Structure 1
Amino acid sequence: MTTHDDQESRPGLESETTTSPLQQPAFRWFYVGTTVSLMGSAMAPVALAFSILDFSERAIDLGWVLAARSTPLVVFLLIGGAVADRFSRSAVLKMSNLGAAITQGIVAFLLLSGTYNLALIMTLELLNGTLTAFTQPAMRGIVPQLVDKSHIRRANSLLGSTKHAITILGPTAAGVIVVTIGGGWAIAADAATFLVAAFCMSRLSLPQQMARKARTVLTDIREGWTEFRSITWVWAVVASLCATNCLRTGIWSVLGPTIAKQTIGAASWGIVLGARACGLLVMSMVMYRIVVKRLLGFGQLCLGLGSIPLIALGLNAHVYGLAVAAFLAGIGSGVFAPAWETSLQEHVPNKVLSRVASYDDLFSYVAVPIGMLAAGPVASAFGASRVAFMGGILFLAATLLPLLSPSVRRLRHG
């Protein structure tokens, strides 16, 4: 016999009368600005890589530039979260996008004018990465201020599906621009997208989050940590994500190509990666329509599908088997991403939301280099296939462990 609670826990289609978050002008401006900015950001790494290599054939130069861009993102994330909770998030996004437009514009000018200066480009990318550290926490905290609570899940699903589509299209567009008119113009396009985003964010008018008191940013960061560790379902899921990010990046990003080169080949590996991206995009769009009352628990359960391609790698599966496994993993991530964002935005007080989200980002980002650095030595000691297989088992365990907590299983959506 099915209970009423069981019925509520099952996914189902929403009423056709439910309105779209895009009908709310504030969210519409935010969505347009975010979409344009994401497109430029997706193009930038490809354009920057080939532009640097055009001027300097040394891979070490490219490594320094990319490191300069990514390092401050981790270093300044917690400060970015405190600032986003202290001031108007729309103002933070306007200023950070405007600053990014200036830094990328100067980089584009240097590349287009043939004035290659590694130190100057590194400095500009360092500033760009710092600005991103302020942008991300503000973006994660602003959605509940732009839409009604009943629209939060749909808003996150819409943003997620757009982001995943751009992740596929952006690098392709950058490659076309690099080949046809040069990487410098792709960086210039990136700068222009930040300008458009800054204009869109200026159309929002949101109040500052906290009264300005005689308190330091460090105090705000500590307060964010206190809030983060006091919510069991938050730190339990973040701990799970830290472990799964470490396993996925180390095995999928480092060992995956190594195993694929010896089994299915580079071209087939590209097909596998495309299958995962397709699963992610498809499920992100589906999540716009379905309602699950226990949304976080459902998302955490689906995230466990990410273990399947790791296990398949360890078993040296054929390209078709790997592609299906990767597609399923994409579906799992496509469910989890909006489920996680929506749960945070519905249940964490908005006044500390950006700080809590910054701790989430910090632990997630720190796990990535650990996984990448550990994958090679561990594979040398135990064998790449064996590490991939056992990593898949550990991935599944890490996703299921938070479900032992009632606070994760029973957290209600809506």
Structure 2
Amino acid sequence: MSFPALSATLKRFLFGYGGTSLATGLQVVLLPWIAVKVVDLPALHLGWVQASVLLPNLLFLLFGGALADRRDAARVAALACLGLAVCHLALLLYFQVRIPNLAVLLLYGVSLGVCTAFLQPARDNLVQRSARSDDGRASERGVQQTVTWMMLAQYGGQALGMLLASRFDHWGLRPLLSLQAAVVAVAALFFYSLREPRATLPPEQGKRPLTLIAEGLAEAWRRPALRELVALMAFNGFVHIGVFLVVLPLLAEDYGRGASYYATLQLAFIGGTVAATVTMLRRGQGTRPGRGILMCLAYSAALLVAISFGPTPFGLILLCACWGGVAAASAVLGRAVVQVLAPDAYRSRLISIYQLALFGSAALGALAAGALSEYAAPLTTLLWAGIVSLLAFVLVMASGALKRLEIGAT
């Protein structure tokens, strides 16, 4: 099966999305490795550094969704990218003077988190704009396919960023931070090119941000499938992402193979996500995405338990690749569900609620994983995460709205 030709609008969207993802791939490796190897922080402090990037979601993500519904999402995304560029340049300038400490890394992480909180809902809102056909409408199948392309750009960009970050031991930090700043600045230009005339925007400008947020929460609550999906993403963020952010660099350090091995683990994870996304792009997502999301929860539980038995260095790489494939399938299906179910006027706010559940809980999960790993072995943390995930799968299977959801059948 050959891939369809991409429209010019979709190409610009994917270049912008891929650029921000490349910068994220660099950040995923650089920030924890700076904390562990350059600043020599313990596990608990590493948890705080990782959480500092995610905690601003708790405060600003819903406001980011409201802003993207009230203003042009393309302009909001472009401004957020410029903010990220400033953050990377600021840390680069600090490194010219001295080695950062915990406080500087926390400030850097919080600044990244604030910009990302405004970027995420605005960036994902552009899916519908990029999925429109010649008649100006976006079908459910078109949206599903665009989401899959979006996730491929995300995972491919992250893979490239992590591959570049794996050269940390040879290139040093300064060239990589410079590259991060340049890439997000270019991504800002691509997003800005997707802007639309202000007259086409929904009439939300006169409402207060808190009113817009309350309306978005009410809209999400009225949709049982979205309610269940948001709850499940909150669990995934707390247990799976939190564990991934903290325990994986600790395991890499225990294996004693340097930053290149940690980057290899991240690349294996991203390689799994790319493979899974390409497969879904060719075969489609199916008409029952809810069931697929629930099965991904069961597979994640099995993988966490398997890693907790302490595989060989090569075995850990393979398991990380499998974990990435499962995570990608869950993410693609979940985001497609939100895009299809969300009305146009509420799309950015519902996206922000979905992402708040996922990444806001991930910040708390990183803190919990860091605290647990401070007093127990990282492998023990993985074992408990796997057991809890298996219990969650049993409980969610007893529910119904998400499991019965059917989309894209026509």
* Category of TM-score, reference length = shorter chain: 0.7 to 0.9
1:192-227 Cα distance to aligned partner (Å, 9 max, x none): 112211211221133554214532101001111111
- Partner AA of 2:231 in structure 1: A
**Which residue of structure 1 aligns with residue 218 of structure 2?**
226
User: 2:181 maps to which residue?
Assistant: 191
Partner of 1:174: 165
Which of 300, 323, 332 is 2:326 aligned to?
332
Single out whichever of 133-142 and 322-331 deviates more from structure 2. Answer: 322-331
Please report how far the alpha carbon of residue 248 of structure 1 lies from its aligned counterpart in structure 2 after TM superposition.
Answer: 2.5
1:163 paired residue among 151, 154, 163: 154
In 2, Cα distance between equivalents of 1:211 and 1:377: 46
1:245 Cα deviation from its structure 2 partner? 2.9
Q: Quick check: 1:50–1:178 contact (8 Å CA) kept in 2?
A: no
Supply the AA of the counterpart residue of 2:326: G
Within-5 A mapping of 1:377-396:
388-396=382-390
Contact 1:237 1:402 in 2 (8 A): no
- Report percent identity of matched pairs: 22
User: Residues 91-110 of structure 1 correspond to what in structure 2 (within 5 A)?
Assistant: 91-110=75-94
1:235 corresponding residue in structure 2: 227
Q: Residues 115 and 204 from structure 1, CA distance in 2 versus in 1: closer, same or farther, beyond 3 angstroms?
A: same
Cα deviation, residue 243, structure 1: 2.0
| Matching of residue 362 in structure 1 with residue 362 in structure 2 | no
Change (3 A) 1:80 1:331: same
Q: What RMSD in Å do the two structures reach over aligned CA positions? A: 3.9
SS in 1 for 2:167: helix
Structure 1 gap ranges (5+):
1-14
Q: What is aligned with 1:85?
A: 69
State the match for 1:288 in structure 2: 281
Identify the match of residue 16 of structure 2 among 10, 26, 33: 33
Q: How does 1:10-409 map to 2 (within 5 A)?
A: 19-20=4-5, 23-44=6-27, 46-47=29-30, 57=39, 59=41, 69-112=53-96, 114=97, 126-147=110-131, 148-149=138-139, 150-176=141-167, 179-180=170-171, 182-206=172-196, 209-249=201-241, 251=243, 254=246, 265=255, 275-291=268-284, 292-316=286-310, 325-375=319-369, 388-399=382-393, 401-409=395-403
Q: Distance in 2 between matches of 1:125 and 1:249?
A: 16
1:237 counterpart letter in structure 2? L
Specify whether residues 211 and 233 from structure 1 end up closer, same or farther in structure 2 by C-alpha distance, changes over 3 A only.
same
The residue number in structure 2 matching 1:11 is none
Q: 8 Å contact 2:85–2:185 — kept in the other structure? A: yes
Contact persistence 1:177–1:185 (CA under 8 A): no
Moved more, 78-87 or 59-68: 59-68
Q: TM-score, normalised by structure 1?
A: 0.79
Q: Per the alignment, do residues 108 and 252 of structure 1 end up closer, same or farther by CA in structure 2, a change over 3 Å counting? A: closer
State the 1:115 CA deviation.
7.5
Bigger drift between 101-110 and 280-289 goes to 101-110
Any conservation in 1 of the 2:19–2:157 contact (CA below 8 Å)? no
Task: State the Cα distance separating 1:349 from its structure 2 match.
Answer: 0.8
Give the structure 2 partner of residue 3 of structure 1: none
SS in structure 2 opposite 1:211? coil
Gaps of 5+ in 2: 132-137
Call closer, same or farther: CA 1:400–1:157 in 2, change over 3 Å: farther
TM-fit CA distance, 1:299: 3.1
Whether the 8 Å contact between 1:244 and 1:398 is mirrored in structure 2 is: no
Distance change >3 Å, CA 179–CA 395, structure 1 → 2: same
SS of residue matched to 1:19: coil
CA contact (8 A) 1:304 1:396 kept: yes
Equivalent AA in structure 1 for residue 147 of structure 2: N
Q: Is the 8 A contact 2:148 2:332 kept in 1?
A: yes
Q: What is the rounded CA distance, in whole Å, between the counterparts of 1:313 and 1:68 in structure 2?
A: 26
Shift of 1:31: 0.9
Q: Is the 8 A contact 2:70 2:205 kept in 1?
A: no
Q: Is the 8 A contact 1:233 1:405 kept in 2?
A: no
Deviations 1:146-173 (A, max 9, x none): 2132322222222222322333331331
**2:242–2:366 contact (8 Å) kept in structure 1:** yes
Q: Which moved further from structure 2: 44-53 or 184-193? A: 44-53
Comparing 219-228 and 184-193, the one that deviates more: 184-193
Residues 242-269 of structure 1: CA deviation (Å, up to 9, x unaligned): 223322245555566778988xx45598
**1:376–1:36 distance in 2 versus 1, CA, 3 Å:** closer
**Which letter does structure 1 place at the counterpart of 2:124?**
R
| Distance of 2:34 and 2:323 partners within structure 1 | 33
Q: 1:247 to 1:274 in 2, by over 3 A?
A: same
- Aligned partners of 1:273 and 1:104: how far apart in 2? 21
Q: Which amino acid aligns with 2:180?
A: D
Aligned length: 392
Decide which structure has the larger Cα Rg and report it.
Answer: 1
Shifted more, 100-109 versus 361-370: the winner is 100-109
Work out the CA distance in 1 between the residues paired with 2:288 and 2:106.
Answer: 46
Post-superposition offset of 1:400: 5.0
Q: Distance in 2 between matches of 1:126 and 1:240?
A: 25
Give 1:289 shift.
Answer: 1.0
